[in-house]
Amino acid sequence: MPELGKLALAIALLLAIYSIVANIYGARRNAPDFVASARHAIWAMCAMVTIAVVTLWTALMRSDFSLEYVAAYSSTTLPTVYKITSLWGGQQGSLLFWTWLLSIFTSIAAFQNRRRNPEIAPYALAVMAAVAIFFLGMLNFVTRPFDLLATIPREGSDLNPLLQNYWMAIHPPSLYTGYVSSTVPFAFGAAALITGKLDDAWIRTTRRWAIFSWFFLTLGNMFGARWAYEVLGWGGYWAWDPVENAAFMPWLVMTAYLHSVMIQERKDMLKVWNLALIGLAFGLTLFGTFITRSGVISSVHSFTQSGLGPYFLTFLIVVTLSYTALLIFRSKDLRSPAEFESYLSREAAFLFNNLVLVGIAFAVFWGTIFPVLSEAVRGVKITVGPPFFNKVNAPLGLVLLFLTGVGPVIAWRRASAKNLRRSFLVPTGLGLVGGVILFVIGYRHYYAVVSFSLCIFVVATIVAEFYRGIRARQAMVGENPLTALTHLISKNRRRYGGYIIHIGIVMMFLAITGTSAFKEEKQITLKPGESFQMGGYTLRYDGVTSSETPHVAYLRASVAVLDGGRQIDTMLPEKRFYKKPEQPTTEVAIRSTLGADLYLVLGSYDEPTKMATIQAYVNPLISFLWWGGIVLALGTGVTIWPTRVRAPAPAYAPGAREVAE
């Protein structure tokens, strides 16, 4: 079986090389047969990589320890679900998974463009194949997933216990999907530069891909945050670790891109900027992979750290230089007659939104690499940790939140005094009143007060937009409010989906503000029967029970939650002791309500005295982070959903047809 995987990867590499040659030859010589042949090669490459993936999965399921990878990241006692997820638990497997996703997305793009974009699609597919060649080259020559061991061990080393969590089953695939799918808009952007077809065809072709990539980057970050919250047991969800930063930066740049392309689509401006942004987003995905695998910057969760850093760095440099050279080469052709009327306009708001988003991305990048810079310049190791990122990004985040309220509502071209009054008078008033009320009732955390006020402002602007839209439909068509709302959204999915996404973002800001400003924590050692107060509850420690499976031993504390003397819940924080490798982990207990989470960690247990040390946290508003993610997903679904447009029925063509957008 391993030979099948090796063979499949070797053939996939050859097919990727062939597809580049055939695509470019076919496009240059105007030979559709070659372009079609290249497309078939891409589909065959995808089939070959799929065979390699299935081969490795089969080996993992069978615990075939003759394979070095299976022996290193699996065991006979590992639950089946984690045997499946161990495909991306180690270096070679995660690269294979990455390549698989890339081959799937390239195949879909090839299918979508089999009759569209004949001028740029072959070059875009060639760029995607070139990226695939890099990864397939690594899998064939540098970090091979099907290498065999000289001596077959009786048992595997097992998957890192921190990765044996259900969020890890969905967090890496989501993030990888976001990372890899950004290749499609990047490749079409590069193809536009190569061919000189610099209108917005490449943007329109890849608009859904860009949203798709952004959506999965969002999900990946959210799932990662949830994993950190449940598994790492420190009461938080984001620690500004370099690997987290590596996933956050492309998200920020992609967010900026999704806003700025609207200006190009509408006003044919910002061509260079949009091409630069998509190049930057793709470059940052490679940078993230470089960070994860190089060990240049120390990280708590570089699970796939290895000596691949130089390869990724070289690839990153080659991609960056080539793309920049193309941008410079085409810079004259990219100039467009810019039309701008006023700073008080949606264009200006979107441009400042771009500035702040890219500014935050730079601040995160700067903080991430500064330790390396310090060591290189001064020879002194320093740490750039959460306090730095929080302090630098908090003011920028608030500006961004403000622009989230302004951007979608302010008029294009020039906002009149009437437009400003109509759109912002009531929301501004509500935000200010909210802030004053918070201050009066005793909130003295100024960032939090400003943040909550801005949240009120943004929600008010969006609700007002929905209200105005519904009223307009009621007046024009006479619909009831619910029908009017449904039609309002379905007639303009992009706009109203965007509003829903912004509501999700506001919910996340609420959670970030609540947990940053008002988090409570307490560490206490108790005997069975003893209690302590936390977050308005009485928590009574009732003792510890233990259990064991061949894979893991459990130590589970029982903590009764009492409200006004009445027991309302029992929380069971755990310590787990994995047997291969011998490693303790924390399994927290969370009692979640909309207002706050009660979060318990079992720290230690002393058998002779039966005393346990419990770490307790109250995380206000954190549930809004997860609900915000769901709302955001809903909004993205609305935005990305294909709109069926009823084509006008001209007199000379009887019978109207419905066509997809």
Partner 1 sequence: MPRGRPQWRWLLAGAFVVAAALIGAAQVRSAVPASFQELEESLTCQCGCGLTVGSCNHLQCDSAMPLRAEIRGQMETGKDKDAILTYFSGKYGEKILSSPTASGFNILAWVTPFVLLGLGGVFLGVTMMRWTVRRRVAPEPTAPQPRAPSPYDKILEKDLKNFDG
Residues within the interface to partner 1 (CB under 8 A): 232-236, 239, 241, 298-300, 338-343, 348, 351-352, 355-356, 358-359, 362-363, 366-367, 370, 374, 377-378, 380-388, 391-392, 395-396, 523, 586, 601, 603-604, 613, 615, 650-652
Q: Per DSSP, what are the bridge partners of residue 596? A: 620
In the bound complex, what is the minimum distance in angstroms from residue 384's beta carbon to partner 1?
A: 6
Nearest approach, Cβ of 602 to partner 1 (angstroms)?
8
SS3 for 586?
A: strand
Q: How far is the CB of 366 from partner 1 (least distance, A)?
A: 6
CB count within 10 Å of CB 543 equals 14
Q: Which residue has the tokens 């003295």?
A: 444
CB of 339 to partner 1, least distance (A): 6
Nearest to 522 by CA among 608, 438, 613, 461: 613
- CB count in 10 Å sphere of residue 369: 18
- Closest to partner 1 by CB, 370 vs 443, is 370
* In the complex, least distance from residue 337 CB atom to partner 1, rounded to whole angstroms: 8
Identify how many contiguous H helices and E strands the chain contains and give both numbers.
Answer: 20, 12
Mapped onto helix, strand or coil, the DSSP state of residue 245 is helix
State which residue, 122 or 514, has the beta carbon closest to partner 1. Answer: 514
CB of 467 to partner 1, least distance (A): 32
User: In whole angstroms, how close is the CB of 651 to partner 1 at the nearest point?
Assistant: 5
Contact 548, 578 (CB under 8 A): no
C-beta of 616: minimal distance to partner 1 in Å? Answer: 11
For CA atoms 117, 119, 120, 122, the dihedral sign is positive
Q: Closer to partner 1 by CB, 39 or 575: give it.
A: 575
Task: Give the angle 39-43-49 at the CA atoms, nearest 5°.
Answer: 140
For 483-499, b/e burial (b = at least 16 CB within 10 A) is ebbeebbeeebeebbbb
CA angle at 128 for the pair 126 and 129, rounded to the nearest 5°: 60
Judge contact between 190 and 326, C-beta under 8 A.
yes
Q: Would you say 465 or 530 has its CB closer to partner 1?
A: 530
Whole-number Å distance between alpha carbons of 501 and 482: 20
Residue 642 vs 648, nearer CB to partner 1: 648
For the CB of residue 19, give the shortest distance to partner 1 in the complex, in Å: 40
Given the complex with partner 1, which of 117 and 264 has the nearer CB atom? 264
Chain centroid to Cα 238, Å, comes to: 13
Given the complex with partner 1, which of 202 and 402 has the nearer CB atom? Answer: 402
**Residue in 360, 226, 365, 358 with CA at minimum distance from that of residue 291:** 365
Kindly state the tokens that stand for 33: 């047969």
Cβ 625 to partner 1 shortest distance, Å: 17
Residues 87-113: b if buried by 16+ CB within 10 A, e if exposed: bbbbbbbbbbbbbbbbbbbbbebbebb
Distance separating alpha carbons of residues 192 and 31, to the nearest angstrom: 19
Query: Taking Cα atoms as reference points, which of 43, 4, 37 lies closest to residue 21?
Result: 37
C-alpha 432/C-alpha 100 separation (Å) is: 51
Q: Please identify, using beta-carbon distances, which residue of 209 and 541 lies nearer to partner 1.
A: 541
Residue (of 186, 13, 204, 17) closest to 113 by Cα position: 204
Q: How far is the CB of 62 from partner 1 (least distance, A)?
A: 35
Q: How far is the CB of 373 from partner 1 (least distance, A)?
A: 8
Q: Which of 523/643 has CB closer to partner 1?
A: 523
Q: Which is nearer to partner 1, 298 or 592 (CB)?
A: 298
Nearest residue to 513 via CA among 560, 418, 568, 443:
443
Q: To the nearest whole angstrom, how small is the minimum distance from the Cβ of residue 613 to partner 1?
A: 6
Other CB atoms within 10 Å distance of the CB of residue 527: 11
3-state class (DSSP) for residue 555: strand
Nearer Cβ to partner 1 (134/350): 350
> Based on CB atoms, which residue is closest to partner 1, 298 or 643?
298
Question: Which residues on adjacent β-strands are paired with residue 558?
Answer: 543
- Strands, DSSP E only, in 148-237? none
> What single letter denotes the amino acid at residue 413?
R
The rounded distance, in Å, linking the Cα atoms of 205 and 183 is: 13
Closest to partner 1 by CB, 380 vs 482, is 380
CB of 472 to partner 1, least distance (A): 24
Residue closer to partner 1, measured from CB, 348 or 510 = 348
- Taking the C-alpha atoms of 449, 451, 452 and 456 in order, what is their torsion angle to the nearest 10 degrees? 130
d(CA 411, CA 638): 23
Min. distance of Cβ 399 from partner 1 in angstroms? 10
- Please identify which residue in the block is written with the tokens 């750039």: 384
What is the DSSP code (8-state) at residue 159?
-
| Residues in Cβ contact with 52 at an 8 Å cutoff, skipping those fewer than 6 apart | 5, 8, 9, 12, 96, 100, 139, 145, 146
CB nearer to partner 1: pick between 21 and 363: 363
Assess contact for 2 and 144: CB atoms under 8 A: no
* Residue 508 C-beta: closest distance to partner 1, Å: 20
User: Quick one: CA torsion of 54, 60, 65, 70, rounded to 10 degrees?
Assistant: 90
CB closer to partner 1, 362 vs 467: 362
